[in-house]
Structure 1
Amino acid sequence: MVTILALGAALSYGVADFLGGAGARRIGALRMLLLSLPLGLLTLLLAALAAGGGATPQGLAWGAAAGLAGGLGFITFYRALAIGPMSVIAPVSALTSAVLPVAVGTLDGERLNAGVLAGVVLCVVAIGLVSMEGPGEEASPRAAGGFVMALLSGAGFGVFFVLLERAGDDTGLWPLVTARSAGFAAVLLAVLAIRLGGRRLGGGPVTGGVLLLALGAGVLDATANALYFVAVHAGMLSLAAVLTSLYPAVTVLLARVVFSERLRAVQRIGLAVAAAGVALVTAG
């Protein structure tokens, strides 16, 4: 069950990131977040009402803290996608976001059996392989800036994964509602700081196509959050987080098909390693 839920979260995150990145290239990162995050918040609110459960102050506080970390991760991630290739940015962010929960889970005493542990290791290796830069990419200042922001976003997402696990499993989906609210607040503060500094957000016009991208990104991201939240409370943090962090495989493949971004040999190997890792985890 944990495997299915976490892989479902990975699929949803991967498509959401692709749609969000495509929109950020048209209207800018922050403007895209201003559109997609409220839609995701509405989706989570409706889901929380349908799922029931009692909201506790502790669970809501953990959710809010997770949301602040996730909001900062979103800002840097969408900015990175707007200036760098999706096939590099998404995997670098995911690798960083996977390592942190694994470290926390290990420190908390989580122990995986040999087969599952081997699968987790392969998944982490796969994320690294898919994220490797091609010749000359590291020489570009824009690519370098995108790489740094991808690392920062991954750290934010990793903290998000860890803190959601701390929220507990007896509060329904309400911690996710506070998490998305706090993340949206972080984006609003960033926008306010930019406007007070006399700068404009920039970007192109908001068209119908952009609105559809925002809708898809917001709803799918909310769906991914819910799937991960259920998965991490049904099993171990390290396992749920690593499988969820395989979402770059989806983003990379979509970027290859839609934007014709080149899929290098090492990335193909990474996808194959990821499949092997998932197979070992499932068998375990």
Structure 2
Amino acid sequence: MSAVVLATVCAVVYGTADFFGGLATRRSRVLAVVALSQTAGLALVAVLLPFLPGILTARGAAWGVAAGLSGAAGLVLFYRALATGVMSVVAPITATASAVLPVLFGLATGDRPQPVALGGVALALAAIVLVGRGSSPAAAGRARGPVLTSLAAGAGFGGFFVLLAQAPDDSGMWPLFGARLASITVVALLALGTRRTLRPGPGALHIIVAAGILDMVANVLFMLAQQRGMLSLVAVVVSLYPASTLLLARQVLDERLTAVQMAGIGCTLTAVALIAAG
């Protein structure tokens, strides 16, 4: 399966995971959602280790731990932004920031996409921005507060992509195992230090578990995709996940889609096609 196909499926799964995570933060504290969802993801990757075998090395483990720390910071900030802002605005801001860092890193370290693919990258970044525009004045007002938090979350996610991609290709899923173990440890220590409960809110546990499992499935797809293609292209396609988050928010939460947002979704599909052609 090609890198672009894997990255596209990864984006859909990430978007769905973020939708469930956003719902969970409205019923439980952010640290509880992060800790429990990450634990569910750790259990899944432990089950997958025999089926996607790899070589456990100090280098692969170190990159995984570093990626986990970056991703944990991004996830805490992202869920905090979702808890106080509008899902259809927070997600695109975060995605834009998470796409820029891997693109710059990839180009700086030797990625040389074809002109058509670079056109797809530019269109993808524009699509992410369009998907997050056109909200109602009330929604825009609610989104101003979490903007900086969303940007910081995007930097954390971008760092996760870059750091995870540095692990040797023969590491299998061990870097993800290390990443999840590190992130759970950090969040648990943070909760202990701030005396925050990790108990989920009423009726939230199944949503949190679903978010964690879907997030880990997306992480596995990302690792497989970046092993088959350039980081600067794979990360951009993966960062188109707000389109699926937005569609789910429209269907389940009745968040309205404007003409600008629909145009952004159309640009998303075109961008994926251009990157695949390149």
TM-score, length basis structure 1: 0.93
Equivalent of residue 222 in structure 2, options 209, 224, 228: 228
Matched AA of 1:188: A
Instruction: Tell whether the 8 Å contact from 1:88 to 1:133 is kept in structure 2 after alignment.
Output: no
Instruction: Tell whether the 8 Å contact from 1:72 to 1:186 is kept in structure 2 after alignment.
Output: no
Deviation (angstroms), 1:138: 7.8
Work out the CA distance in 2 between the residues paired with 1:160 and 1:221.
Answer: 13
Partner of 1:184: 184
Matched AA of 2:150: A
Work out the CA distance in 1 between the residues paired with 2:12 and 2:197.
Answer: 30
Matched AA of 2:41: G
Equivalent of residue 275 in structure 1, options 262, 269, 274: 269
Matched AA of 1:240: V
Partner of 1:151: 151
Does the C-alpha gap of structure 1 residues 204 and 43 become closer, same or farther in structure 2, counting only changes over 3 Å?
closer
Matched AA of 1:78: Y
Does residue 243 (structure 1) correspond to residue 229 (structure 2)? The answer is: no
Matched AA of 1:17: D
Once the two structures are superposed, residues 117-147 of structure 1 have per-residue CA deviations (whole angstroms, 9 ceiling, x without a partner) of 111111111011112363535873x522222
Work out the CA distance in 1 between the residues paired with 2:138 and 2:162.
Answer: 32
Q: CA RMSD in A?
A: 1.7
Deviation (angstroms), 1:175: 0.3
Once the two structures are superposed, residues 40-90 of structure 1 have per-residue CA deviations (whole angstroms, 9 ceiling, x without a partner) of 011011112321111110010000000000000010001111111110011
Partner of 1:205: 201
Partner of 1:127: 128
Partner of 2:72: 71
Matched AA of 1:214: I
Work out the CA distance in 1 between the residues paired with 2:186 and 2:157.
Answer: 14
Instruction: Tell whether the 8 Å contact from 1:11 to 1:247 is kept in structure 2 after alignment.
Output: yes
- The runs of 5 or more residues in structure 1 that have no matched partner are none
Matched AA of 1:223: V
Once the two structures are superposed, residues 223-278 of structure 1 have per-residue CA deviations (whole angstroms, 9 ceiling, x without a partner) of 00000011111110001100011111000110011001122222111111111111
Deviation (angstroms), 1:283: 2.5
Work out the CA distance in 2 between the residues paired with 1:137 and 1:277.
Answer: 30
Matched AA of 1:276: T
Work out the CA distance in 1 between the residues paired with 2:59 and 2:144.
Answer: 39
Does the C-alpha gap of structure 1 residues 64 and 143 become closer, same or farther in structure 2, counting only changes over 3 Å?
same
Once the two structures are superposed, residues 92-135 of structure 1 have per-residue CA deviations (whole angstroms, 9 ceiling, x without a partner) of 10110000000000101211111111111111110111123635
Does the C-alpha gap of structure 1 residues 173 and 138 become closer, same or farther in structure 2, counting only changes over 3 Å?
same
- The runs of 5 or more residues in structure 2 that have no matched partner are none
Work out the CA distance in 1 between the residues paired with 2:197 and 2:89.
Answer: 25
Does the C-alpha gap of structure 1 residues 193 and 170 become closer, same or farther in structure 2, counting only changes over 3 Å?
same
Partner of 2:210: 216
Instruction: Tell whether the 8 Å contact from 1:29 to 1:75 is kept in structure 2 after alignment.
Output: yes
Q: Secondary structure at the match of 1:166?
A: coil
Does the C-alpha gap of structure 1 residues 73 and 133 become closer, same or farther in structure 2, counting only changes over 3 Å?
farther
Work out the CA distance in 2 between the residues paired with 1:65 and 1:219.
Answer: 21
Q: Secondary structure at the match of 2:256?
A: coil
Q: Secondary structure at the match of 1:23?
A: helix
Partner of 2:119: 118
Matched AA of 1:168: P
Work out the CA distance in 2 between the residues paired with 1:7 and 1:68.
Answer: 25
Q: Percent identity?
A: 46
Q: Secondary structure at the match of 2:187?
A: helix
